[in-house]
């Protein structure tokens, strides 16, 4: 075989490379290639298996030890490459401080959204000094750069998820994050000025007028101090109503207020809807007001807080509370408006109903008529009727008042039903066929039970009865049904957020993933099989909400070149193409840069030691998914520049040297060439000595 002449080969390569470069400069090769378009549902043709194919499939199933149920489960969840999921699950990210978006039924992780924790891929919190993200993560001036996210809440219009915003609570620090679902980025974090930590957040009213943040561990409101001896006198609970300004896409703190509550430990909350619109409901435990202290002979918290047979469901008439707040009858604690318990009692804002026993979840049925309370230490769920509640309030059917003067509604007057389900009921979701689904933590099972009232006619089962149970693996906390918190749930998929996975996956060290299990709840008459297990190895999620994917109207690219996602508007400082460069005013320097495949302009940035630098970059890309990164090693800077995005960072050039900066996202064939140099010239020329002639590494190693 004769070799081709070298020169010829390399000329061919040069020509090919030039072609690639031209294609890259022209951009868009991917975007316009219709032959590589994704496989759509409508392109699918009906199949009919031949006997030979059935035989092959059977053989394959047997070789992989799969049952018929397994094959069916696979067929229900498998998505061919390019096919999209029907639902998006927005899950709390637990201690990761983030939110995860997961496709259903495939259970594939689509992305995380940074909220309370800096995250470098998204360039969240890696924009140098005075970073807007790090600034808003501070509490009382201290950086608090993680969160314990529990309950995500999608914005609603008329009680339906509208796909516009997502809210998420941080239990550890009593904060709320606001995410805009046009670009899936956190826009705002509000810190509750009354309390250190919370739990029942976030829940929205049916038109997202308010985002509700229920409390948990009582403290002295407004960061006060008192010893446990003064618990009853000085400690307080709270629930906060954050006013949401939809047009601005922000919580309006000046129009927000809280209700002072007794120092019971308020837990989960849910807003009324339809029949119960205008109310919300909050559970509580530790109505014993136990203060722990086993060291001094008192019962420990877990025993002290579990002595009574009932705690109090808090029933709040928030429309009345809103009026009282607007009438100026709230007082200020730490600058925040608070309606006192006396005012709530006098104005008929707050009522209690007894609830067994150390309850956890309260969930309102889709028609708004019933509130389902799950008592962790009671094998029943207790169902309350809003009609009965309203009537009992009107008829003053009280069994007494608590120590703080809040009227307690007579249990039998407001109770609709109690349904025995099993051990450790926690949370409840609903379907479209008149069933409710309750997680049983101790039983490790999901219980399906029939609702009564107007739901009675929807299913063939007797009302208020356990219908069946499906084991899950293991120790389920929350569960989440498709569109499950809306006025019209879909009733096909249900997620079991199983806390322990034990033996379900390969061992990953002593720390094991959580287990998201997908249940098919389509058929009321049969079982609810688990059809997929998804390990979640990035934090312990608590709650999630599942929205129809086609309700999300996300942007493919930012609306204008130079868009600032922090302000959600075109940024006046955004560098424009042709106007790049370095502007110096003494030692204050502005760098104006643009980025497009596969080039940063300018490629060399000349600075001097001690310069204070504001560096602005606009991505002028207009192609979907053409994301660039931008990092400077050693200065803790990394940005994500999505198409059209403007980003800015500040730093002091205090360490001289020659720093390559580069694109951290593999954006093109010439991605590695998408780089440049930052030159930071030392202030004074180094003193001449022998080491001057040595390489820099040797010199600096001294």
Between CA 146 and CA 601 the distance in angstroms is 35
Q: Does 671 bind ligand CUA (CB under 6 A)?
A: yes
Query: Pick from ligand CUA, ligand K7E, none: which does 478 bind, CB < 5 to 8 A by kind?
Result: ligand K7E
CB of 542 to ligand K7E, least distance (A): 4
Cα separation values, 413 from 347, 389, 392, 409, 667, Å = 22, 8, 6, 7, 65
Q: Which of 534, 617, 663, 680 binds ligand CUA (CB under 6 A)?
A: 663
List the single partner that 182 binds among ligand CUA, ligand K7E, none, CB under 5 to 8 Å by kind.
none
Q: By C-alpha distance, which of 407, 410, 416 is closest to 373? A: 416
665 binds ligand CUA (CB under 6 A): yes
DSSP assignment letter at 40: P
Select 182 or 199, whichever has its Cβ closest to ligand K7E. 199
For the segment 289-308, give every residue that binds ligand K7E (CB under 6 A): none
Q: Using the CB atoms, write b or e for 652-688: b if 16+ within 10 Å.
A: ebeebeebebbbbbebbebbeebbbebebeeeeeeee
> Measured from the CB atom, is 151 or 175 closer to ligand K7E?
151
Say if residue 296 is exposed, middle or buried (CB neighbours under 10 Å; 0-12, 13-18, 19+). exposed
H or E stretch covering 117: none
Distance CA 91, CA 553 (A): 19
Query: In angstroms, rounded to a whole number, what is the distance separating the alpha carbons of residues 626 and 554?
Result: 16
Touching ligand K7E, residues 461-520 (CB under 6 A) = 477-478
Q: Which does 665 bind (CB under 5 to 8 A by kind): ligand K7E, ligand CUA, none?
A: ligand CUA
Q: Which residues contact 133 (CB under 8 A, 6 or more apart)?
A: 118, 124, 125, 127
Per the listing, tokens 């925040």 go with 336
Nearer to ligand CUA, 78 or 666 (CB): 666
Confirm if 620 and 626 have CB atoms less than 8 A apart.
no
Residue 273 binds to ligand CUA (criterion: CB under 6 A): no
Site track 218-237 with ligand CUA (rule: CB under 6 A), x = hit: --------------------
- In the structure, how many helices (H) and strands (E) does the chain have? 12, 46
- Taking CB under 6 A as the criterion, the residue among 178, 447, 494, 667 binding ligand CUA is 667
**From 42-50, 441-449, 609-617, 664-672, span contacting ligand CUA (CB under 6 A):** 664-672
Distance CA 604, CA 681 (A): 13
CB of 665 to ligand CUA, least distance (A): 5
For ligand K7E, the nearest residue by Cβ is 477
Backbone phi and psi for residue 699, each to the nearest 5 degrees, phi listed first? -60, -45
Interface with ligand CUA, residue 88, by CB under 6 A: no
The answer to whether 90 contacts ligand K7E (rule: CB under 6 A) is no
Q: Which of residues 475-494 bind ligand CUA (CB under 6 A)?
A: none
SS3 of residue 698 by DSSP: helix
Euclidean distance between CA atoms 701 and 692, whole angstroms: 13
Residue position matching structure tokens 């389900």: 421
Could you tell me the CA-to-CA distances from 543 to 90, 186, 453, 482 in Å, in that order? 9, 18, 28, 13
Residue list 602-641, contact with ligand CUA (CB under 6 A): 628
Cβ proximity to ligand K7E, 259 vs 426, nearer residue: 426
Smallest gap from residue 329 Cβ to ligand K7E (A): 32
DSSP class of residue 236 equals B
Residues 178-217 that bind ligand CUA (CB under 6 A): none
Residue 311: name its binding partner from ligand CUA, ligand K7E, none (Cβ under 5 to 8 Å by kind): none
Neighbours of 177 (CB within 10 A): 28
Comparison of 444 and 640: residue with beta carbon closer to ligand CUA: 640
Contact letters for ligand K7E, residues 413-432 (x by CB under 6 A): -------------xx-----
Asked whether position 376 contacts ligand K7E by CB under 6 A, the answer is: no
Of residues 660, 674, 672, 584, the one with CA closest to residue 621: 674
Interaction with ligand K7E in 323-362: which residues (CB under 6 A)? 360
Q: What is the DSSP letter of 127?
A: B
Provide, rounded to whole angstroms, the least separation between the CB of residue 93 and ligand K7E. 13
- Tell me how far, at minimum, the Cβ of 111 lies from ligand CUA, in Å: 18
Residue number, 502 or 583, with CB nearest to ligand K7E: 502
Does the footprint of ligand K7E cover residue 542 (CB under 6 A)? yes
- Residue given tokens 């047997």 in the structure block: 62
Q: Choose the stretch contacting ligand CUA; rule: CB under 6 A; options: 333-341, 402-410, 541-549, 661-669.
A: 661-669
Q: What is the contact surface with ligand K7E in residues (CB under 6 A)?
A: 150-151, 199, 268, 360, 426-427, 477-478, 542-543
Q: What is the contact surface with ligand CUA in residues (CB under 6 A)?
A: 598, 628, 663, 665-667, 671, 674
């Amino acid at each position: 075989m004769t070799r081709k002449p070298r020169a010829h080969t390399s000329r061919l390569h040069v020509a090919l490379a030039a072609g690639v470069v031209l294609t890259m400069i022209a951009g868009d090769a991917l975007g316009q290639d219709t032959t590589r378009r994704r496989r759509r549902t409508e392109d699918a043709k009906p199949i009919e298996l031949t006997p030979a194919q059935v035989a092959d499939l059977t053989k394959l199933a047997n070789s992989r030890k799969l049952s018929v149920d397994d094959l069916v489960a696979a067929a229900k969840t498998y998505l061919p490459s390019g096919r999209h999921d029907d639902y998006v699950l927005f899950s709390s990210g637990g201690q990761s401080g983030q939110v995860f978006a997961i496709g259903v039924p495939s259970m594939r992780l689509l992305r995380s959204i940074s909220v309370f924790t800096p995250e470098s891929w998204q360039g969240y919190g890696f924009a140098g000094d005075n970073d807007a993200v790090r600034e808003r993560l501070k509490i009382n001036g201290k950086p608090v750069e993680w969160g314990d996210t529990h309950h995500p809440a999608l914005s609603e219009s008329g009680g339906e998820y509208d796909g516009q915003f997502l809210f998420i609570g941080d239990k550890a620090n009593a904060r709320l994050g606001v995410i805009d679902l046009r670009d899936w980025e956190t826009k705002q974090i509000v810190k509750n000025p009354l309390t250190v930590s919370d739990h029942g957040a976030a829940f929205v009213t049916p038109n997202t007028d308010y985002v509700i943040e229920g409390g948990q561990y009582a403290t002295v409101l407004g960061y006060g101090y008192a010893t446990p001896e003064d618990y009853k006198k000085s400690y307080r609970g709270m629930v906060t109503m954050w006013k949401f300004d939809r047009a601005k896409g922000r919580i309006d703190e000046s129009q927000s207020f809280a209700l002072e509550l007794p120092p019971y430990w308020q837990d989960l909350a849910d807003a009324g809807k339809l029949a119960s619109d205008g109310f919300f409901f909050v559970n509580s435990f530790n109505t014993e007001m136990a203060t722990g202290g086993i060291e001094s002979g008192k019962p420990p918290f877990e025993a002290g807080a579990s002595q009574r047979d009932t705690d109090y469901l808090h029933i709040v008439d928030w429309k009345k509370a809103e009026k009282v707040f607007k009438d100026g009858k709230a007082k200020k604690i730490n600058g925040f408006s608070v309606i006192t318990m006396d005012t709530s009692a006098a104005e008929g804002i707050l009522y209690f109903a007894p609830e067994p026993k150390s309850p956890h979840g309260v969930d309102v049925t889709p028609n708004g008529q019933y509130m389902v309370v799950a008592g962790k230490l009671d094998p029943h769920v207790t169902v309350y009727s809003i009609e009965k509640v309203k009537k009992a309030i009107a008829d003053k059917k009280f069994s007494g008042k608590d120590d703080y003067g809040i009227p307690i509604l007579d249990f039998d007057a407001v109770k609709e039903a109690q349904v025995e389900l099993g051990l450790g009921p926690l949370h409840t979701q609903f379907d479209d066929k008149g069933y409710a689904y309750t997680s049983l933590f101790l039983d490790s099972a999901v219980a399906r039970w029939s609702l009564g009232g107007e739901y009675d006619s929807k299913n063939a089962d007797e009302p208020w009865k356990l219908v069946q149970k499906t084991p899950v693996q293991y120790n389920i906390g929350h569960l989440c049904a498709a569109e499950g918190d809306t006025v019209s749930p879909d009733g096909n998929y249900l997620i079991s957020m199983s806390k322990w996975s034990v033996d379900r996956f390969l061992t990953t060290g002593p720390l094991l993933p959580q287990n998201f299990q997908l249940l098919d709840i389509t058929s009321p008459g049969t079982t609810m099989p688990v059809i997929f297990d998804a390990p979640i190895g990035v934090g312990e999620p608590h709650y999630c909400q599942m929205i129809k994917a086609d309700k999300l109207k996300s942007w493919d690219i930012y609306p204008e070149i130079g868009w600032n996602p922090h302000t959600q508007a075109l940024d006046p400082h955004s560098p424009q193409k042709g106007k790049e460069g370095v502007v110096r005013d003494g030692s204050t320097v502005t760098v104006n840069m643009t980025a497009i495949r596969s080039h940063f302009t300018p490629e060399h940035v000349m600075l001097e030691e001690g310069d204070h630098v504001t560096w602005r970059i606009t991505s002028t890309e207009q192609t979907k998914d053409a994301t660039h990164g931008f990092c400077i090693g050693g200065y803790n800077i990394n940005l994500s520049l999505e198409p059209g995005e403007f980003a800015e960072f500040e730093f002091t050039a205090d360490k001289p040297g020659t720093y390559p900066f580069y694109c951290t996202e593999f954006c093109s064939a010439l991605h590695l060439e998408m780089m440049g140099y930052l030159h930071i010239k030392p202030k004074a020329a180094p003193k001449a000595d022998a080491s001057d002639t040595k390489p820099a590494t040797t010199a600096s190693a001294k």
